Amino acid sequence: MGGRKIGVAVDFSSCSKAALRWASTNLTRSGDQLILIHVNSSYQNEQGAVHLWEQSGSPLIPLVEFSDPHITKTYAVSPDKETLEILTEMSNQRGVEVFAKIFYGDPAKKLYEAVDLVPLNCLVVGNRGLSTLKRALMGSVSSYVVNNATCPVTVVKENR
């Protein structure tokens, strides 16, 4: 039997890297696929191929391609060095197959859709730790996904 498909929502912030590290340490095991889910919410000015993937997101991008700046430019995404190091370590030391999938639009809606589109066995998201008032006024991506996703969702709080 194949491994699980574990999604990790990443926007390259420190809290999403904390979620990625948590998933690497506590969740992934050899044979799993880790699908890095990134939502580009400011893609309207991008040209070309990005508009092909507005509805269903990019194809699954293998880690070797996701590490190539020429390829990631095609998808209007710029992964940082630390994220790529975490992913490479997961792939090399833990036997986890790593892919990225890029979505375009509203982060909460697209993360929710990713669960069924990929499909994922579980999803890990970071939490920026908004106050109750800010969360009520602005909404929370993690709250939306936890309350609506059709798979288990783990919210990782960043250690401060």
Q: Residue 103 in 3-state DSSP?
A: strand
φ, ψ dihedrals at 4, nearest 5°: -85, 160
CATH number of residue 44's parent domain: 3.40.50.620
Kindly report the number of other CB atoms within 10 A of residue 118's CB atom: 19
Number of structural domains found in the chain: 1
Q: Find the domain containing 74 and state its range.
A: 5-157
CB neighbour list of residue 121: distance below 8 Å, 6 or more residues apart = 4, 5, 6, 151, 152
Burial of 136 (0-12, 13-18, 19+ CB in 10 A): exposed
Instruction: Please state, in angstroms and rounded to a whole number, the distance separating the CA atoms of residues 136 and 102.
Output: 27
Residue-by-residue pLDDT tens, the chain, 160 positions: 469 999 999 999 999 999 999 999 999 999 999 999 999 887 665 566 677 787 889 999 999 999 999 999 888 899 999 999 999 999 999 999 999 999 998 999 999 999 999 999 999 998 876 666 655 555 588 889 999 999 999 999 877 6
Model pTM score: 0.89
How many residues are recorded in the chain? 160
